[in-house]
């Protein structure tokens, strides 16, 4: 019985973690309340709102050793009627870590962009939160955090 409950708990946690929707949505037209302050596009409880998009980061983050290169996929969830190219920008990269291509684009209709993460031999060690920004041709930018851990080689 313990094994069954442990298995159910593990699967539930993985399923929750796989729904990496922590970021802010982009695209669409942000709604503006009467007082003129900017707000985010309306966000549904489940899924992605019409005319908007969200970015999906690797579920468990990315572990990389100094001197290593890893292929990583950055996904996009498009709401109904959102069909634009989205360019990606990476901020707060650790010292000695680069992304290639530096500014990839997720083309309209594509579900993801593949990038290479490269850690130099002397890359800074530790856990880092990289801010990923998705910039559409029109509408608001989307943001999400990506955890990168650099380990000693």
The domain ranges of the chain are 2-151
> What is the predicted pLDDT for the residue at 143?
97
Radius of gyration of the chain (CA): 18
Cα–Cα dist 132/118, whole Å: 16
Along the 153 residues of the chain, how does pLDDT read in single tens digits?
555 444 444 434 333 344 444 688 887 754 444 444 444 444 444 456 688 999 999 999 999 999 999 999 999 999 998 999 999 999 999 999 999 999 999 999 999 999 999 999 999 999 999 999 999 988 999 999 999 999 999
In CATH terms, the superfamily for domain 2-151 is Immunoglobulins (2.60.40.10)
> What is the predicted pLDDT for the residue at 19?
41
Cα–Cα dist 85/105, whole Å: 7
At 61-97, the pLDDT tens digits run 999 999 999 999 999 999 998 999 999 999 999 999 9
């Amino acid at each position: 019985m313990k094994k069954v409950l442990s298995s159910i708990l593990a699967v539930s946690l993985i399923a929750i973690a796989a729904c990496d929707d922590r970021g802010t949505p982009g695209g669409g037209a942000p709604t503006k309340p009467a007082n003129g302050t900017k707000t985010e596009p309306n966000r549904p409880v489940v899924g992605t709102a019409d005319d908007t998009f969200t970015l999906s980061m690797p579920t468990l983050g990315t572990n990389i050793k100094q001197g290593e290169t890893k292929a990583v996929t950055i996904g996009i969830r498009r709401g109904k009627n959102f069909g634009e190219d989205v360019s990606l920008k990476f901020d707060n990269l650790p010292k000695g870590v680069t992304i290639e291509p530096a500014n990839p684009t997720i083309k309209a209709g594509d579900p993801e962009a593949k990038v290479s993460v490269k850690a130099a031999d002397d890359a800074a060690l530790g856990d880092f939160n990289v801010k990923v920004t998705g910039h559409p041709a029109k509408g608001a930018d989307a943001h999400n955090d990506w955890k990168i851990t650099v380990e000693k080689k």
